[in-house]
Amino acid sequence: MTGKKKIVQYVHGMVVLFVLWYGISALAELPVIPSPLAVMSNLVQIFYGKMMVHGFYSLWRIFAGVFLSTVFGMPIGLCMGYFERWDRILSPIVYLIYPIPKIALLPMIMLLFGLGDLSKIVIMILIIIFQVIVAIRDGVKSIPKEAYDPLYSLGAGYMDIFKEIIIPASLPKLLTSLRIAMATAISVLFFTETFGTQYGMGYFIMDAWMRVNYLEMYSGIVVLSIIGLALFIAIDILEERLCRWHCSRR
């Protein structure tokens, strides 16, 4: 799909969403569902002065969380996918930890890593990393065995095999897992930002709520959504850059 076409589609989606929102707010006539027009004009007024700094804090935390999850999760997933033995030993551990509601560990994480950014990023990593590991492991396992044969017959070492086959072949799976993890990451971030910080979209939204300033609260939600959308688009662009072979197949 071309960039232009995509933009048109996004604009179309946004218009539909805003019309729906407008309709509901007009029907309900409640202060808790303000009209999108009021929210947008409020957003424009407060964005630079009040909100931008919160947006940057959130963006940085999400980025750090997703980036570090990839940095730690990818090698583990790659090795589990390629080496039978790693998989045998690590799979049960991963499966046992995966379903634990990590967010419930927040008090413990906060005690260990403090109230600052670190504990927020750690909890995000704890939640995302398992999706990354499992997706990459399965990605590597789905590479047909014959794909390795020409490299084996060339006397390729592990480095060559990882570089030429395993990493490029599992990249699309990684990006898909990040796409799925991103939505979780944003909700987790929101939750963690309601504690122990004065910055971040989570704090901003909860603070506006406490002050019963619904316009600001909705402005915050809109900005947080835009951050999510931007990250989604960033992953799409990354995929087109790194996995052109994969995109051209669709």
Partner 1 sequence: MIETRDLTVVYKSRNSCYTALDKITMAILEGETCALIGPSGCGKSTLLKVLAGIIREFEGQVAIKNQPVMPKRHRIGFIPQNYGLLDWKNVYQNVTLGLRIKDGKKKIDRNDIAHILDLLGLKGLEERYPNELSGGQQQRAALARAFLLKPDLLLMDEPFSALDAITREEIQDVFLYVWKKNPVSTILVTHHVEEAVYLGKKIVILSDSPGRILKILDNPLFGENDLRNKEDYFQMCLELRKIIKEDWSK
- How big is the chain by its Cα radius of gyration, in Å? 22
Distance from C-alpha of 220 to C-alpha of 54, rounded to nearest angstrom: 9
User: Which one, 172 or 202, has the nearer CB to partner 1?
Assistant: 172
**Of 4, 5, 241, 249, which one interacts with partner 1 (CB under 8 A)?**
249
Helix H segments across the chain?
A: 3-28, 36-46, 52-82, 84-97, 106-113, 117-141, 149-153, 158-161, 167-192, 201-210, 214-242, 244-247
**Per-residue x/- marks for partner 1, 99-138, CB under 8 A?**
----------------------------------------
Which of these ranges, 26-34, 85-93, 144-152, 188-196, lies near partner 1 under the rule CB under 8 A? 144-152
User: Is there binding between residue 211 and partner 1 (CB under 8 A)?
Assistant: no
Q: How far apart are CA 177 and CA 167, in angstroms?
A: 15
Nearer to partner 1, 2 or 248 (CB): 248
Does 244 sit near partner 1 (CB under 8 A)?
yes
Q: Is residue 131 within 8 Å of 179, Cβ to Cβ?
A: no
Binding range to partner 1, per CB under 8 A, among 104-112, 125-133, 162-170, 233-241: 162-170
CA dihedral 199, 203, 209, 215 (to 10 degrees): 50
Tell me which residues touch partner 1 (CB under 8 A). 146-147, 149-156, 160, 164-165, 168-169, 171, 243-246, 248-249
